[in-house]
């Protein structure tokens, strides 16, 4: 079943973040993922959630998404994102 990684983030260090933004798409593709939403500024319609930017990635399954997150070759990129952003990440399963 399709799975989605949803990232809510604020960039704290744009020059430091750019190498992550340039390199991570190859790892997303490597694990069968694709961008559904790519770093857009959302419009809050209800409630108090107000993310600065949102990314939604689609993967063929939760195991693909988890493999992406566990990829040893991508860990330095994830560490870079953690250093240069304030981010929150969730994994959700699709309904089809």
21-56 tens-digit pLDDT: 999 999 999 999 999 999 889 999 999 998 999 999
Question: pTM above 0.75?
Answer: yes
Q: Provide the 8-state DSSP code for 6.
A: E
Report DSSP state, residue 42. -
Mean pLDDT of the chain: 96
Query: Would you kindly state where each structural domain of the chain is located, as residue ranges?
Result: 3-93
Domain 3-93 annotated CATH 3.20.20.140: no
Average confidence (pLDDT) over 47-76: 96
Rounded Cα–Cα distance for residues 87 and 46 (Å): 21
């Amino acid at each position: 079943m399709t799975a989605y990684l949803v990232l809510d983030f604020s960039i704290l260090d744009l020059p430091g973040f750019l190498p992550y933004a340039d390199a991570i798409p190859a790892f997303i593709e490597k694990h069968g993922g694709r961008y559904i939403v790519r770093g857009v500024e959302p419009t809050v319609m209800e409630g108090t959630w107000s993310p600065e930017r949102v990314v939604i990635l689609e993967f063929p399954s939760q195991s693909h998404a988890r493999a992406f997150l566990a990829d040893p070759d991508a860990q330095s990129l994830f560490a870079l994102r953690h250093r240069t952003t304030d981010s929150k990440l969730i994994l959700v399963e699709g309904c089809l």
